[in-house]
Structure 1
Amino acid sequence: MAAKVHVIFYSTYGHVWKLAEAVAEGARAAGADVQLLRVAETLPDDVLAKMGAADAQKAFAHVPLADPRKLQEADAIVLGAPTRFGSVPAQMRGFLDNTGGQWVSGALIGKVGSAFTSTASQHGGQETTLLTLSTYFYHMGMVIVGVPYSVPELTNLDAVGGGTPYGASTISGPKGERQPTANDLAVARAQGKHVAGIAAKLAAG
C-alpha cells in the first residue's frame, strides 16, 4: 500500500523549496504518492521586492497552494519552513493555526509528522525551529519521524552544512547567497524515504 505524503513548505528565497523537492523525491523513491504543496505568501509584493525575494519566489509559484482543511487526506505530513528567531515564520504559523478543526476532531492522530528547515547562519536556530514544529505534531497526536543516523550524510564533517536528526536543513547565508549542498539534499531525500516507509507501515495497520 502506497503511503500518501504531503510535503508542505513555506520558502522566502527558494532554499526550503529545494529541500522540499528533495524530500518529495525521496518519498517517491520509496513508492509514496506525494503531493508537493506550498504555504501562501502573505507579504505584500512591494515588501518582497525590497527584500530581493520577488524573483526568487517566481521559481516555485507553480507549486499548488496547500489547503489546511485537507491535511487529513495524507498518511504523512512533512512541513518545511525557514527559521524566524528559532521558530517558524508567520506564514507557516498562520497555516497551522487554521487546523483547529483537525485538532478538535482528532483527524491527524496516528499520522506521521516530520519537518525540515533553513537558517542564514550555521547556528541560526535549525534545531529549535524543528523542535518547535514538533510541538504541533505532539498536539495533533502524530507520530514524529526524523532522520536516523544510519544516513551517512548526517555525520559528514568534510564541509559546513545542514542536516540534523530532527530533520533536514540547510544554511542559506545572510543574503541568501548559499544554496543547499549535495549533502543537505541527500539528507532531505533520506528523510523523505524514511517518512514514506514508516507511513506505509502505519497505514497498513
Structure 2
Amino acid sequence: MSKVLILYYSSYGHIEEMAHAVAAGVLEAGGSAAIKRVPELVPEEIATQAHFKLDQSAPYARIEELADYDAIILGVPTRFGRLPAQMAAFLDQGSALWVSGALIGKVGSAFACTATQHGGQETTLFSAITNLMHFGMVIAGLPYSFQGQMGLSEIHGLTPYGATTICGADGKRSPSEIELAGAHFQGRHVAQIASRLAAPI
C-alpha cells in the first residue's frame, strides 16, 4: 500500500475540495491518503476581512514528515502565475530533506486553481513541480487517459500537468464535476505509480 500525502494551501476552499477528490482517488487505488495543509501567513484579522475559509479540518503538516510518504501531491491556488507564499515558505524549510536526499525517487504531483482559464494554471503547476524536482522526485501529471480533459462542451480547468479548477473572478464558482473527476483520477494515478515504484524488484 502506498502512503500518499495531499499537501495543500487553500484561501477560499476550492483547493481544499479538490484535495478531497484527490484523496478519494488514492483510496480507490488501494493507497492510504493523508490530507494536510500548510500554515496561513496572512494575519487572522485581515484573512477574516477577506473572507478566507479559516475553518478547514485538515491539520497542519510538519516539513520533516514529508519523508514518511511514498508520494506527495501539492495543491495550490495561483498567485500571479506561481506558487502562493504560504506553500513556498513551507517548502523553503526543506533544506534537510534536500541535503539528505529523503525524497529522491518518490512520486511528486500537483493540482491547482485559478480565477480564469488563462490565469496561470500551467505556470502555477510548473512552479510547484519545479520544487518537487529539486527534491529529486519522480513527476506524475494528469495523463490523457483521463478523457475528460479533451472535451470542449463546457468550460473547465484540467491540464496534462495536473488537475485544475477555475473559481471565477469573484471566487463563487466551485470545482465542477469534471474537474473533481480529474482530481480523483490524478490521485489514483499517483498512488498506482507509487505502489509500482515501491514494489520489490
For the criterion TM > 0.5, the same-fold answer is: yes
What's the offset of the Cα at 1:63?
Answer: 1.1
Q: What's the counterpart of residue 54 of structure 2?
A: 57
| Counterparts of residues 167-178 of structure 1 (less than 5 Å) | 167-178=162-173
Q: Does 1:5 align with 2:41?
A: no
CA distance in structure 1 between the aligned counterparts of 2:147 and 2:54, rounded to whole angstroms = 32
Amino-acid identity (%) = 50
1:3-50: CA deviations, max 9, x gaps? 000000000000000110000000010000110101111111111122
- What residue ranges of structure 1 are gaps of 5+ in the alignment? none
1:53-81: CA deviations, max 9, x gaps? 1xx231x2x21111111101000000001
Q: Residue 57 of structure 1 aligns to a residue in which SS?
A: coil
In the superposition, the TM-score normalised over structure 1's length comes to 0.96
What's the offset of the Cα at 1:132?
Answer: 1.1
1:81-113: CA deviations, max 9, x gaps? 100011011100011001110000000000000
Q: What's the counterpart of residue 39 of structure 1?
A: 38
Q: Residue 54 of structure 2 aligns to a residue in which SS?
A: helix
Of 95, 103, 109, which residue of structure 2 is paired with 1:108?
A: 103
- What residue ranges of structure 2 are gaps of 5+ in the alignment? none
Q: What's the counterpart of residue 187 of structure 1?
A: 182
Of 88, 91, 94, which residue of structure 1 is paired with 2:89?
A: 94
What's the offset of the Cα at 1:134?
Answer: 1.2
**Post-superposition, which runs of at least 4 consecutive aligned residues in structure 1 deviate over 6 A?**
none
Q: Does 1:17 align with 2:12?
A: no
| Counterparts of residues 141-180 of structure 1 (less than 5 Å) | 141-180=136-175
1:126-157: CA deviations, max 9, x gaps? 00010111111211111000011011111121
Q: Which deviates more, 76-85 or 128-137?
A: 128-137
Of 126, 131, 137, which residue of structure 2 is paired with 1:131?
A: 126
CA distance in structure 2 between the aligned counterparts of 1:162 and 1:170, rounded to whole angstroms = 5
CA distance in structure 1 between the aligned counterparts of 2:90 and 2:172, rounded to whole angstroms = 27
CA distance in structure 2 between the aligned counterparts of 1:72 and 1:112, rounded to whole angstroms = 12
